[in-house]
Amino acid sequence: MTDLTRLAGKSFLIVGRAGMDLYPDPPGSRTEEARAMTVCLGGSSANIGVALVKQGCTAALVTRVADDAIGRYCLNELDRYGIDRSHVTPLGGEARNSLAIVETRIEDHQSVIYRNGAADFGMTVADVEGVDYAPYSALISTGTVFAAEPSRSAAFRAFDLARNAGLPLIFDIDYRPYSWPSAEVAAKVYSRAGAMCDIIVGNDVEFGFMAGDYDKGLDKARELVAGGARIAVYKMGEKGAVTITPDGEFQTGIYPTQALKPTGAGDSFMGGFIAALAEGRPVRDAVLRGSASAAMVVARVGCAPAMPTTGELDAFLAERPDPD
């Protein structure tokens, strides 16, 4: 597998979606009772890009957006956050951007996702072949890009091109059942993608899903490292995470927080974790910085705007001991 020292370049190419998130306002409101909404950039790949930029990296996104006002909103937000969108292509016709209506509440939380005719699934092989991979430090992909064609074939082509250019491949499993034709197809495709990657991050349910048995998720993570991956992070919610490398494995806890919502933690973890690896921090420190980033985001409104800066993350960590 590829040498991870290339991450030190801090320049990341991310394959996946950008969308619009709507949050009933004020925080705590139920969607069906809302009289106002807070609007912000969403989509797992865009969120990861924002997290990386806020922590001192650069990021470019490869995807499709709808050729309408919502798509233009996403483009404007990518510009505002400093994410290179030169490889983000508008798609006309009936394609529509991903929309998420997400409540800022924990009890009886509701998230409603609109993904019918999603524009990002229109990403093509030509889109990814139009990218010069050489300047980047790594390719990051979320699992959603593999859920439909032509995006699936395009993403696998991007993997091949990035590997040929010497880039590490980083995979956030990000399993969303509603996007897939069947669980069997998803498990097969995810296993193929995971086997190609150097760093794989997912929760216990996602790894268990890849394994075909929810009780064997940790075994799947270990299998991926035994097969050549450099790092697998097996997240277990409130129980922390188990991180597996060729040198062994270790467990870390989570940082307690006063959560406002359950969403955004995974994207924030990935951003904080990869940014820390890019700084040359030890893997354990990188996992803890990812965990702290996740704790900060669930305590704030929104996802993209809630991503912490390096200074905010350092201040958060300075006030807390490492979790057991």
- 281 with 317: CB under 8 angstroms? no
Residue 186 lies in a domain: yes
Sign (positive/negative) of CA torsion 259, 261, 263, 267?
A: negative
Report the distance separating Cα 4 and Cα 245, nearest Å: 12
Residue 31 lies in a domain: no
Question: Would you say residue 146 has pLDDT above 90?
Answer: yes
- 312 with 90: CB under 8 angstroms? no
Mean local confidence (pLDDT), 23-37 = 96
- Token pair listed for 206: 């996602």
* CATH code of the domain covering residue 300: 3.40.1190.20
Report the distance separating Cα 16 and Cα 35, nearest Å: 31
pTM (2 decimals)?
0.97
Report the distance separating Cα 173 and Cα 238, nearest Å: 19
Domain with 255 in it: 4-16+47-63+80-85+121-310
pLDDT, tens digit, for every residue of 62-73? 999 999 999 999
pLDDT, tens digit, for every residue of 215-230? 999 999 999 999 999 9
Residue 98 lies in a domain: no
- Token pair listed for 34: 């809302």
Element (H, E) at 283: helix 283-297
DSSP H helices, 84-203, are 125-129, 151-164, 183-196
Mean local confidence (pLDDT), 256-269 = 95
pLDDT, tens digit, for every residue of 295-324? 999 999 999 999 999 999 999 999 999 897
| Structural domain count of the chain | 1
Report the distance separating Cα 60 and Cα 164, nearest Å: 19
pLDDT, tens digit, for every residue of 161-207? 999 999 999 999 999 888 888 888 999 999 999 999 999 999 999 99
| Helices 69-81 and 44-54, packing angle to 10 deg | 20
Instruction: Give the end-to-end CA distance of the chain in Å, rounded to a whole number.
Output: 31
pLDDT: which is higher, 252 or 212: 252
Residue 9 lies in a domain: yes
Give the residue from 264, 150, 117, 86 showing the smallest Cα distance to 75: 86
Residue 33 lies in a domain: no
- Confidence class for position 160, pLDDT limits 50, 70, 90: very high
Mean model confidence pLDDT for the chain: 96
- 18 with 41: CB under 8 angstroms? yes
pLDDT at 1: 57
Based on C-alpha coordinates, what's the Rg of the chain?
18
Question: Would you say residue 269 has pLDDT above 60?
Answer: yes
The length of the chain in residues reads 324
Tell me the percentage of the chain whose pLDDT exceeds 90. Answer: 93
Amino acid at 37: M
Question: Would you say residue 3 has pLDDT above 90?
Answer: no
pLDDT, tens digit, for every residue of 83-102? 999 999 999 999 999 999 99
